[in-house]
Amino acid sequence: MRALPTAPAARRNAVDRPLAVKRYLFLASTYFGLVILANWLASRYVVSVGFGRVAPAGVFCIGGVLVVRDWLQQLRGLLWTMPLVYAAGLASWAIGDAAGWTSLEKIAVASVVAFTVSETVEAVVFTPLRRRNLTLGVALSATVGNALDSWLFLQLAFNSQTFFVGQFIGKGEMIALGTALTLWRRRLLAAVT
């Protein structure tokens, strides 16, 4: 038999639900926006990522996307997260098609396929690790997702791996930042509670 929550715990859960919904909506909007921005940037610009390497400009956004997906899964679960992957990629393709950016359309289609594969594998890596060590789960799953996404996206969008190292470095820089933010958030919340 399951114990009923105490009155203070029930009130705290009632207060936490709207906050969790707001966090989810904020992160989902951020995720969605970063995917669309990444595809547009990748179709237009090349940037330096350091170490003498360059990559399509969307790499910094996608590095953030890989981390935000993990945060969304941690907050609401896999069933609330994976539909965003497909919806964001399809929206990016539709926006590119409506605007007449033919190069973006090819990039958006490559992005949908790369996301489908890399984010699914990332979820498989993240799911067992997230309860044991959220920070490690974010770091490892995003790095695996980075490698798969970089290779598959470049192959489908450009039929070339010329930018692979630059893509991996650029996304890796954002993954490192996201991992540090995950660690900082967990330590901050532990200090507050």
In DSSP notation, 147-193 reads HHHHHHHHHHHHS--TTHHHHHHHHHHHHHHHHHHHHHHHHHHHHH-
Note the pTM of the prediction, 2 decimals.
0.81
Tally of CB atoms within 10 A around 22? 10
Going by C-alpha positions, the residue among 49, 43, 12 that lies closest to residue 153 is 43
- 128 contacts: CB under 8 Å, gap ≥ 6: none
Between CA 86 and CA 140 the distance in angstroms is 22
User: pLDDT tens digits, the chain, 193 residues: what are they?
Assistant: 555 555 544 445 555 778 888 989 999 999 999 988 887 887 789 999 999 999 989 899 989 999 999 999 998 988 888 888 888 878 877 877 777 666 666 777 787 788 789 988 999 999 999 989 999 999 999 999 999 999 998 899 889 999 999 999 999 999 999 999 999 987 765 554 3
**Residue 172 near residue 63 (C-beta atoms within 8 A):** yes
